[in-house]
């Protein structure tokens, strides 16, 4: 190659002189042909770098291959497949169904499926479509519904929920909790609410947001007393009032007692479907006090039954105690001995509130037990009016039974706790806006400029009632003061609001 270049040089550019010849003889500077190949090679390298594959291989393949019959399509396909691997969105190469086409590796099958490198198909907008996401969720819901029908409880019975309530500060808190739990129950529900002090619009407005279809709202003519002992008695009477409604209206289903301050888990409602006549559940007792390590429980015997076993002293559970064959032989109750003399008597007391020996909420009944004349009513159940002769109520549904051995333990024999008992109430004189709606809106008397933002000059507008604010701040000693003035002014504003609210809406506790 070099020799011919030399000769060319001599022939065409004789006047160029000896310098070129000398250089070519020397060999230090390469001839134009060599430079040309070098430049071409460099160019190919650069193009390969840019495109990302061996460009020179493609060129040689095209120029020197004689076997392929459709070179243009081949070029398209190879280039196409290479660019596709760079994840650009393209349509599939049209070569998929051409049998004579041979991609890089040269193998075809006789079907439509071609062996070799294919493109990775990516659509132009590879992100979820919201309509399809919603459709998929509906499909999943339908599948789950079918699963429930197939594997869940067959022939679920209506659940009749009995709740005594009355209007007070914490009513919304408690009642909303129970209401939301009941809204999630997948079975038919009848909710009987007995309200002390008569039916009120307050309670009715809370219930109106539930969307539950069968709510029986009854008024009870007594006011709720302020001592816990009296309260329990009144609540018992209210529950019996509800049971009379069940009897009179011949409601069919499983009766459970949901006090409005209790917390229920969803598994509870599945578990009580297993009830036959009367069942007992374990209730977790949450007594809020400072001395939690004093909590313990003892087994209390009934007159005829015997004591079984010992008890783990740290379990505040009320419920059935079983023997090894799964029958109820005793009861766990809350040990109130450590709290002798220290428990709360009145609502306002800062002492722990204790449960009674056996709470109603730990029992579930078949509603047929209450009916006056049902054919399949077992003989061990007493009549409701016979037990509650003078209208004073009784402490637990066990009084309705002649023989307490028929009680069925639920929740794997009381080992699983699915509801919790808690009594939390506000102070007797606590006030709250009726319906928790602030109407008319409060006047903001402290303008925003009072807040000492870093760039705002601190100035006192003339219409600030500073004296009034200080008074209300002092009246609430329990509030902790923070050193930051931002918080202080905020708190002052809140105190002002509360003062206004209490002045404008005096609602009885």
Partner 1 sequence: MLYIWINIGSAGDVLEDDPVGRLKVFVYELPSKYNKKILQKDPRCLTHMFAAEIFMHRFLLSSPVRTLNPEEADWFYTPVYTTCDLTPNGLPLPFKSPRMMRSAIQLISSNWPYWNRTEGADHFFVVPHDFGACFHYQEEKAIERGILPLLQRATLVQTFGQRNHVCLKEGSITIPPYAPPQKMQAHLIPPDTPRSIFVYFRGLFYDVGNDPEGGYYARGARASVWENFKDNPLFDISTEHPTTYYEDMQRAVFCLCPLGWAPWSPRLVEGVIFGCIPVIIADDIVLPFADAIPWEEIGVFVAEKDVPKLDTILTSIPPEVILRKQRLLANPSMKQAMLFPQPAQPGDAFHQILNGLARKLPHDKSIYLKPGQKVLNWTAGPGGDLKPW
Residues of this chain that bind partner 1 (CB under 8 A): 81, 84-85, 87, 92, 96, 105-107, 109-113, 115-123, 126-129, 132-133, 135-136, 138-140, 142-144, 146-148, 150-152
Alpha helices in 195-265 (DSSP H): 201-208, 228-249
Query: Nearest approach, Cβ of 134 to partner 1 (angstroms)?
Result: 9
Quick one: CA dihedral 232, 237, 241, 246, positive or negative? positive
Cβ-based nearer residue to partner 1, 128 or 462: 128
Alpha helices in 156-200 (DSSP H): 171-183
| Among 193, 188, 248, residue whose Cα is nearest residue 219 | 193
């070519």: which residue's tokens? 24
Query: Nearest approach, Cβ of 123 to partner 1 (angstroms)?
Result: 4
Quick one: CA dihedral 483, 489, 490, 495, positive or negative? positive
Cβ-based nearer residue to partner 1, 48 or 502: 48
Cβ-based nearer residue to partner 1, 132 or 379: 132
Query: Nearest approach, Cβ of 336 to partner 1 (angstroms)?
Result: 40
232 in Cβ contact with 171 (< 8 Å): no
Query: Nearest approach, Cβ of 105 to partner 1 (angstroms)?
Result: 6
Q: Are strands 189-196 and 363-366 parallel, antiparallel or unpaired?
A: unpaired
Cβ-based nearer residue to partner 1, 97 or 302: 97
Query: Nearest approach, Cβ of 155 to partner 1 (angstroms)?
Result: 16
329: its two tokens: 């032989």
Query: Nearest approach, Cβ of 366 to partner 1 (angstroms)?
Result: 24
Query: Could you give the CA distance from residue 439 to residue 308 in angstroms, rounded to a whole number?
Result: 59
Sequence-distant (6+) residues with CB within 8 A of 337 are 298
Query: Nearest approach, Cβ of 48 to partner 1 (angstroms)?
Result: 15
Query: Nearest approach, Cβ of 90 to partner 1 (angstroms)?
Result: 11
Cβ-based nearer residue to partner 1, 88 or 424: 88
Cβ-based nearer residue to partner 1, 77 or 333: 77
Cβ-based nearer residue to partner 1, 105 or 480: 105
| Among 190, 224, 268, 167, residue whose Cα is nearest residue 175 | 167
Query: Nearest approach, Cβ of 66 to partner 1 (angstroms)?
Result: 22
Query: Could you give the CA distance from residue 261 to residue 384 in angstroms, rounded to a whole number?
Result: 26
Cβ-based nearer residue to partner 1, 28 or 150: 150
Query: Could you give the CA distance from residue 111 to residue 348 in angstroms, rounded to a whole number?
Result: 86
Cβ-based nearer residue to partner 1, 116 or 198: 116
3-state secondary structure 5-36: HHHHHHHHCHHHCHHHHHHHHHCCCCCHHHHH
Which 8-state DSSP code applies to residue 219?
E
């Amino acid at each position: 190659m070099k020799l011919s270049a030399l000769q060319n040089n001599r022939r065409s550019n004789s006047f160029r002189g000896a310098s070129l010849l000398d250089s070519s003889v020397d060999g230090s500077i390469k001839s134009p042909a060599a430079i040309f190949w070098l430049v071409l090679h460099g160019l190919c390298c650069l193009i390969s770098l840019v495109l990302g594959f061996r460009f020179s291989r493609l060129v040689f393949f095209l120029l020197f291959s004689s076997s392929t019959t459709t070179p243009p399509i081949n070029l398209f396909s190879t280039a196409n497949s290479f660019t596709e691997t760079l994840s650009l969105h393209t349509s599939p190469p049209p070569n998929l169904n051409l049998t004579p086409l041979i991609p890089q590796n040269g193998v075809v099958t006789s079907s439509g499926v071609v062996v070799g490198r294919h493109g990775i198909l990516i659509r132009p907008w590879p992100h979820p479509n919201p309509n399809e996401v919603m459709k998929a969720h509906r499909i999943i819901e339908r599948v789950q519904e079918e699963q429930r029908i197939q594997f869940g409880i067959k022939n679920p019975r209506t659940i009749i929920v009995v709740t005594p309530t009355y209007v007070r500060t914490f009513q919304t808190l408690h009642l909303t909790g129970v209401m939301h739990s009941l809204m999630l129950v997948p079975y038919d529900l009848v909710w009987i609410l007995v309200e002390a002090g008569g039916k009120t619009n307050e309670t009715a407005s809370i219930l109106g947001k539930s969307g539950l279809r069968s709510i029986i709202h009854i008024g009870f003519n007594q006011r709720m007393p302020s001592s816990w002992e009296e309260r329990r008695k009144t609540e018992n009477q209210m529950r019996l009032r509800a049971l009379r409604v069940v009897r009179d209206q011949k409601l069919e289903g499983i009766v459970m007692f949901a006090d409005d301050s209790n917390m229920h888990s969803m598994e509870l409602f599945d578990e009580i479907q297993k009830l036959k006549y009367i069942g007992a559940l374990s209730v977790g007792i949450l007594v809020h006090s400072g001395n939690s390590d004093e909590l313990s429980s003892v087994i209390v015997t009934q007159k005829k039954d015997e004591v079984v076993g010992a008890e783990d002293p740290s379990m505040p559970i009320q419920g059935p105690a079983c023997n090894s064959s799964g029958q109820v032989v005793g009861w766990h109750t809350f040990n109130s001995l450590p709290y002798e003399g220290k428990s709360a008597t009145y609502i306002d007391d800062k002492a722990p509130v204790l449960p009674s020996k056996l709470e109603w909420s730990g029992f579930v009944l078949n509603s047929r037990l209450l009916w006056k004349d049902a054919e399949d009513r077992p003989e061990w159940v007493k009549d409701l009016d016979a037990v509650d002769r003078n209208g004073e109520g009784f402490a637990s549904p066990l009084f309705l039974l002649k023989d307490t051995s028929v009680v069925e333990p639920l929740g794997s024999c009381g080992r699983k706790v699915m509801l919790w008992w808690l009594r939390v109430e506000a102070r007797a004189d606590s006030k709250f806006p009726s319906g928790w709606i602030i109407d008319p809106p409060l006047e903001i008397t402290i303008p925003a400029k009072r807040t000492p933002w870093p760039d705002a000059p601190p100035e006192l507008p003339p219409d600030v009632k500073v004296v009034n604010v200080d008074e209300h701040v002092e009246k609430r000693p329990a509030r902790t003061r923070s050193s930051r003035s931002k918080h202080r002014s905020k708190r002052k504003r809140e105190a002002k609001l509360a003062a206004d609210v209490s002045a404008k809406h005096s609602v009885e506790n």
